[in-house]
Structure 1
Amino acid sequence: MAEFADLWWLGMLLAAFAGGAFGAAIGALPAFIFTGFLVMLGEGAKILIGDLSGIAGFDPALFEQSSAITGQLGFGPVFGPHISFAGGAAASAYAAKKGYMNTGFPYHEAKNIAFAQGPKPDVLVAGGLFGILGYWITSISVTLGLPWDPIAIAVVLSALAHRLFLGYPLIGKTDKGILNMDPFVKEEERIAKAEKDTKIRLLVEPWLGHQYKWADISILGVVVGILAAFTTYETGSVFLPFGISAATLLFLNLGVERIPVTHHMSLIGSTSIVAATGGAYMGYSLGLMLLTGALFGFIAALFGELFQRVFYAHGDTHVDPPAGAIVMGTLLIAALAMFGIFPDAAWIPLPF
């Protein structure tokens, strides 16, 4: 059977292709919501099985099986955001370029990541190919031990790659200032040449029209960081807060107005208390851990807004601000560990 074992890499590429196509078919945002529910399921199962571990006749293999739900499904080569979400975002960019999308979306159609492309063959292939790209970027990052979230960096680099590959501008026109949101407030418009016609678009298009003011996102980051730290402190799961935040986007996808997007704040907030204490957060007061989570949730919120102003607001396709914030937030935590300020970096890879 050794010769078949050598085909493991082919199986992973096929899984990644299918995952990217899946994201294209149902839409990038619905695919990411699916990730959130899988992570909640996997982490919930681990917590439950951990509680049952002292019972006579308990099978330790159950813990490994529950871990696989998070690791191999939620963050794995089919449903991981670097594959299904990134593939779905690339598919939207491709479909808009081909003139397949006419949904009335107020921004460029390529930014419409909630739209399900369905079973259109060339769009599925585009999503599948970018699923493979996301898999390779993540694998290289893990192999080299690069000090950031290997999944988030793949989401970011995949999005920049589909912009360049499909002929979209890397950032867009920034004549009024790259960080300036005033043109959005004043509803300044531009006439943009689309692939099939022209349309009037806002000169600056914030990622979320209800979530871009510095004061708003700052308090949101503090609140979410506290909630994430509390959840991790009480359950022992660093990824459950991320899963909960991702799952709440179901309401955003269903059209509920003003739903905040918070998974970057959750993940950095929960990771911070694990890294800051070397995993021994239960030995510290709850209040101190919640303050730590609040600080890093706040930092992640600022990172996300900075990223959206640079890479999203002026461009034509979706480059994910939470993924960018997670890259920068995990890089910060890794740097604190490498300089000896934190005892370790939790789950974040380190180069040594």
Structure 2
Amino acid sequence: MLDALLDLAELIAAFGGGAFGAALGPLPAFIFTGFMVIAGESATLVDPEAAAITGQVAFGPPFSPAISFAGGVAATAYAARRGYMDTGFDYHEAKNITFALGTKPDVLAVGGAFGILGYWLTVLSAELGMPYDPIAMGVVLSAFAHRLILGYSIIGKVRGANILDMGPFERDEMRVMGESATNGGETQAAAPTADAQKERLKVEPWLPHQYKWSHVAMIGLAAGILGAYVGVRTGSAFLGFGISAASLVFLNCGVEKIPVTHHMTLPAATAALAVYVPADGVVAQGAPVAYDSGALLAGTGVEVALIVGLVFGVVSALFGELFQRIFYAHGDTHVDPPAAAIVFGIFLVAVMYALGVFPTTVYVPFF
């Protein structure tokens, strides 16, 4: 484990990946992850030797979400704290993950430093064989780390009836923020000038068009089916994720109401592959950790696999919404609900394997 943590080439590359993610902006960097996953998984279907495109580029130092995206998120929080950002963003500037931060040296250095942290967090999870997606966990832990290190609140101040209440957003209830206030706290200064204030919603949903429970469940159902179908037809747990991630180019360009679905398609595809065995007996692209032919759902057909994917899509979608209501809506920086949902959804695959329901965990390590 120590050798992997201290691999100099990977550390240098992770610094570059985090800095580049900051320069591009977190969401644009993640969109490139999606494009590279599509390229890598497509190439691997033709030539298994091309797996390095996914493993070493899309999920390696250049574009691993735990490195480039998380590094960009931390750099955005730093730039906002330093007063470098004035984009007119509706929420706190530290939540503006669509914004490219450019070439400012200290901002890129922060991105690079958190890129290394993301690499370490990923390696630790992988080397310890933890039964969840190590990259997604790296994104989540990196976000909590930047909040602690940069002096932001972990949750923020709850201003609704309870921590899950989105009512203040629905009623357009605002708070006035002073520029001198820290951690997003309200200023108490008397009669401040308009230039020294910014109005913010009391509660800020991660996606204003995708937060109602029924809506989230429905998009989870649809995305879960499609992610599962792509998975069982190609043998790739990751191709549907790549398509979902790449689709966010439209969201980044300002197209309204584009749904975010990568945290639905990845768990759905993984769960579907765990229960589906094609006629030729090949379980999935990439060897599973183990295969239990006596499991309850061993060797099912496509129809059952799609239903399993549907369920995992809905569950992961709803968990992502629960996470955003707790950790995003009241805070001042971006903590990624999809990453948390992927951790949860993939962990459920491991749980189903442990209970003897799924015959394999596909790519998920198991103790």
Question: Counterpart of 2:7 in 1: which secondary structure?
Answer: helix
CA contact (8 A) 1:99 1:195 kept: no
Q: Which residue of 2 aligns with 1:48?
A: 46
Question: Which TM-score applies when normalising by structure 1?
Answer: 0.91
Deviations 1:134-163 (A, max 9, x none): 000000111111111000000000001101
CA distance in 1, matches of 2:98, 2:349: 31
Q: How many residues align?
A: 333
CA distance in 2, matches of 1:87, 1:6: 20
Q: Which residue of 2 aligns with 1:243?
A: 242
Matched, 1:347 2:363: yes
Deviations 1:139-196 (A, max 9, x none): 0111111111000000000001101110111101114211001110001111223458
Q: From the superposition, tell whether residues 207 and 271 of structure 1 become closer, same or farther in structure 2 (CA, over 3 Å).
A: same
Q: Which residue of 1 aligns with 2:268?
A: 269
Matched, 1:180 2:161: no
Q: Which residue of 2 aligns with 1:203?
A: 202
**Equivalent residues in 2 for 1:70-219 (5 A)?**
70-176=54-160, 177-195=162-180, 197-219=196-218
**Structure 1: which amino acid aligns with 2:241?**
F
CA contact (8 A) 2:267 2:345 kept: yes
CA distance in 2, matches of 1:192, 1:308: 22
Deviations 1:213-241 (A, max 9, x none): 00001010010011011111211111100
Please list every run of 5 or more consecutive structure 1 residues that lacks an aligned counterpart in the other structure.
50-62
Q: Which residue of 2 aligns with 1:58?
A: none
CA distance in 2, matches of 1:82, 1:168: 20
CA distance in 2, matches of 1:194, 1:227: 45
* Percent identical residues: 59
Q: From the superposition, tell whether residues 7 and 184 of structure 1 become closer, same or farther in structure 2 (CA, over 3 Å).
A: closer
Q: Which residue of 2 aligns with 1:57?
A: none
Q: Which residue of 2 aligns with 1:29?
A: 27
Please list every run of 5 or more consecutive structure 2 residues that lacks an aligned counterpart in the other structure.
182-195, 285-297
The Cα of 1:34 is off from its aligned counterpart by 0.3
**Structure 1: which amino acid aligns with 2:12?**
L
The Cα of 1:198 is off from its aligned counterpart by 3.0
**Structure 2: which amino acid aligns with 1:337?**
Y
CA distance in 1, matches of 2:133, 2:299: 26
CA distance in 2, matches of 1:345, 1:236: 14
Greater CA drift, 122-131 or 229-238:
229-238
CA contact (8 A) 1:277 1:343 kept: no
For the aligned residues, what is the CA RMSD?
Answer: 1.8
Structure with bigger helix share is 1
**Structure 2: which amino acid aligns with 1:143?**
E
Question: Which TM-score applies when normalising by structure 2?
Answer: 0.87
The Cα of 1:286 is off from its aligned counterpart by 2.1
The Cα of 1:280 is off from its aligned counterpart by 3.9
Q: From the superposition, tell whether residues 147 and 7 of structure 1 become closer, same or farther in structure 2 (CA, over 3 Å).
A: closer
**Structure 2: which amino acid aligns with 1:22?**
F
Q: From the superposition, tell whether residues 152 and 241 of structure 1 become closer, same or farther in structure 2 (CA, over 3 Å).
A: same
Which among 262, 270, 284 is matched to residue 300 of structure 2?
Answer: 284
The Cα of 1:132 is off from its aligned counterpart by 0.4
